[in-house]
Every structure is written in structure tokens, then in C-alpha cells.
Amino acid sequence: MVISKTVLGVRPIVVCAVLRDMKFTESSYQSFIDLQEKLHQNICRKRTLVSIGTHDLDTIQGPFIYEALPPKEIKFAPLNNTTVMDGEELMKHLSNDLHLKPYLPIIRDEPRYPVIHDSKRVVLSLPPIINGNHSKITLNTRNVFIEVTATDHTKADIVLNTMCAMFAEYCAKKFTIEQVEVVDADGKVRITPNLNTTEMTAPVDYIVKNIGIDIDADRVAKLVSQMSLNGRLSPDRKTLVADVPCTRSDILHACDIVEDVAIAYGFNNIPIVFPHTQTIGRQQPLNKLSDLLRVEIAMAGWSEVFNFALCSRDNNFRKLNRPDDGSAITVGNPKNHKFEIARTTLLVGVLKTTCKNRRVPLPIRVFEVSDVVTQNKNYDVGCANIRHLCALYSGNTAGFEIIHGLLDTIMTAMGATWREEGKQVQGNYYYIKPSQDPAFFEGRRADVFFNDQKIGVMGVVHPIVLNNYKIPHPCSAIELNIQPLVNVKTTKH
């Protein structure tokens, strides 16, 4: 297999192998196809990292060449089709194929498509989309040529080794694999596949201590051998040496050896003991406060809801009658427009819940205690989760006083006192001031302050917002940042 420089910017890697004198049955043939599909979906990342092509070697002639050509210059009959098409025609044809359609964007917009030819210019495959019909595998195929194209060398080797190891037993001479010489674009020669084992070590004490069992070194070596790893002890008997075969690409570190020994020993056989520590576990203060508030609000007759943490930019800003201030964390390559950003407010979710339940008997009382996400340069990830509480009341008369009553309930539970303007109070206190939040109706909206720190907003939801969310009844809502309340001594413990 000769790699042309033209593929370096598209899909630069190919590795190959040959399985001779195969004897397929209906069952083994279907298993051969299913394995390729399973690999394509997981380690191959839906063919974006790796794709597999299998061919009847008796129908093609080496040496083979892997190159990239303009779509118009690639002409062949695709798998299970006798009509010859060029690259552009093939893309149009496969756009109606439910199975292959998702893979077309991988190369569709490239000026050149990767393609594998034999010495007679017969097309073997158009990776990572489809094989040619000329070299199709059948039940009568005896010699199988496997080519694996990729953008990652390690993943390509793992996939090729897996294919070979799983089906070499169907060769006339069992467990034999013929290697292929791959000539890179720079002229370097590589022989594939490389089925050599790798050596992994782990201290015996490290293994038994982490599992929590008391067994000798010989037993450890025996257990790891049960997991397809050839285990042996070092001369000083303090270290386990395991030969990792090509079929165990999941073994990366000493902790993976520990896991295999634990599986062989049996998780149910590991004794249950108290940890040898003097620490005392307790709930995170923020989570404890959240749970207490959930109970308090639920006892007041409100129903808790859970909503997606992602939403559309339109829902988060325009529909709430708020300007897009650029504070939202944007999701790269979102699945669809409904999950463009991480929400910066819980009001989006409770409004959508109310919209979906607008036909249930009134009034509707819903609340949510969960996180919103905002940009924060003080964190290495550039953003922070902030715990909010949001509640919404919908009914024929959803006045300001209803949501104010819920605020009083929450603050009473927190042990805070209402402070009137110009007066001083002892301990924690709260008060409200007129707000300018456009999501709420002018004159019926207020910012909420706790110990002179603004923690939220409440009021009657603006008619424009209600219309945007298709809610036919008046609503009042409150949204608070409860993190400033975490270290407050409450009246309920």
C-alpha cells in the first residue's frame, strides 16, 4: 500500500492486513459485518477518526495506492450497485441513504476525496463512506484484504488489530495474519499490523491495597492471567508484570491492572469494611440549603420542576424581552438551535413548563432550584455555576402580592427580617427596590436585596414575554441567587 502526498490534508493514515483461506458461514459472515459497524460507532467515532474497508483479495491486484482526487475524477460502482458514478453523483445518490447519509459531511466539502485503487486502477473504496462493488465480500470469499484509514495512528492500529484478532480463527491455518507493507508519503516503510504485546507493571502491594483484599503474589498473578493478560512476578516477587495483548487496548495504566484483578477476584467477594480514616462526611452547604428550600416551598403548595440546562439564545434573551449582553456560554456545534447556550436564568424553564401545562386547572404554582451558568474569568474554565431559585404563579389574578408572599416565606425560613426604608434592624434583613428588568411589567417589578446585596428580581411577568411563550394567563415570578444565603444561620436546621 503506497500513500500519496495528496491525502495528507484529508485523511492521511492507512494500515492494512490480509486474512488468508477464510471459511465464512452465514453466522460468521454476519458477525464480521456487525463487528465493523460496532467499531465504526464507538472507537471510530462514527467514522470521523477511523473507517474500515474489507475486500475480496482475489478480485483485486496489488500494489495498492491511497490518494486524493477531485470528485469528478473518481468513478466506480458503489457497494451493492452496478451503476458507475463519479464522486459528485455518488454524494447525491447517497444523500437518500439513511445509513450512509450521516457520514457524507466528513469529506463532502473537501476539494479532493480520498480513494484507494489497485494496480489496475480499480477502486476499492472511497473512505470513510463506501466500498466499491467490484471487491465486495461474499460467503464465497476466501482471502480478505482489510484496509483501515484514519486521522489517528493509535486508533487505526487498535481497530486493525481488533479486526484481525477476532477473525483470524476462521483462517484455514488458525490465528495467522499476513502483514502488509505500507509506504508512507515520505517514503518510510511500515509493516502492519503490529500484534506485539506490551508490558505493563504494577506493584503487588499497590494492587491488593487498592482492592482491599489480602492475597499472596502468586494468587494475584493467577487472577490477572484470567483476564487475558499473561501475568508473572518479578524476581523479587514484589511487582506484577503483565503482557498486554493487542486485544486489550483498554489497559493503559497500573490502575487498569488493579481493576482486572478485582474483576477476576469478584467484586462481591471483596470484604466490606469501614474506611480507616478519621474524617466525617457531610453534605455540601449549598446542596443542603437547596434541599431545605425545596421542602419549604413545596410545603407552601408549589410543585417542583426540572428543566434542561441548555436552551436557545432566543429563549434566553429575546423572548424574555432582555438584551443579549454576551454573558451566556455558547455551545460549540450544538445538536440543534434549542441547545445553543447554557441558560443564564431559570425563568426560561418555568415559563416553558407553564406553556406546556396551560390547559391544566388554574392556578399553576411551579418552582425550580438549580444552576445557571455565567462567564467568570476568575475560573480556569472561564465560567461558573450559580445556584438559583425561581418560582412562577399563573392564574386569573396573578398579582405582585402573591410572589411577594413567597419571598416572605423563604426569608422567614432563613431567619431574615423585613427592613423598611430608613429603619435599622438586628441580624439578617431583606428589602426590595424598584427594578428596571424588562422581563417584568413596569411598576410591578422589584429587585430583591439581602443584607444590602442584590440577589434577585420579582414581579408580574411582562405581557410581551407571556405572548412570546404563548401563556394566556397573567403570571408573577421571582428568581433569586441563593448562594449568598449559604452561610446564614437559619431558623430551621
Shared domain for 309 and 325, answered yes or no, is yes
Query: What is the rounded distance in angstroms from the CA atom of residue 102 to the CA atom of residue 119?
Result: 31
> Domain holding 310: CATH number?
3.30.930.10
Averaged pLDDT, 12-35: 93
In a domain, 69, yes or no: yes
269-312: per-residue pLDDT in tens? 999 888 777 777 788 899 999 999 999 999 999 999 999 999 99
Band (pLDDT 50/70/90 cuts) for residue 489 is: low
Of 54-68, 74-88, 259-273, 478-492, which gets the smallest average pLDDT? 478-492
**Contact predicate 306/368, CB 8 Å:** yes
Shared domain for 362 and 218, answered yes or no, is no
Classify strands 429-434 and 239-244 as parallel, antiparallel or unpaired: unpaired
List Cβ neighbours of 257 (8 Å cut-off, separation of 6 or more).
200, 202, 207, 224, 229, 240, 242, 251
Shared domain for 23 and 142, answered yes or no, is yes
pLDDT at 491: 45
In a domain, 449, yes or no: yes
Query: How many domains does one find in the chain?
Result: 3
Domain residues for 216? 198-269
Sheet with 383-394, edge to edge strand ranges: 303-304, 364-375, 383-394, 475-481, 453-461, 440-450, 429-434, 417-418
Task: Give me the percent of the chain exceeding a pLDDT of 90.
Answer: 72
Query: What is the rounded distance in angstroms from the CA atom of residue 6 to the CA atom of residue 67?
Result: 6
Helices of type H across 1-126: 26-41, 87-94
pLDDT at 493: 44
pTM, entire model: 0.60
354-376: per-residue pLDDT in tens? 999 888 888 999 999 999 999 88
- For residue 291, report the phi and psi dihedrals to the nearest 5 degrees: -65, -40
Cell of 433: 427596590
> Amino acid letter at 173?
K
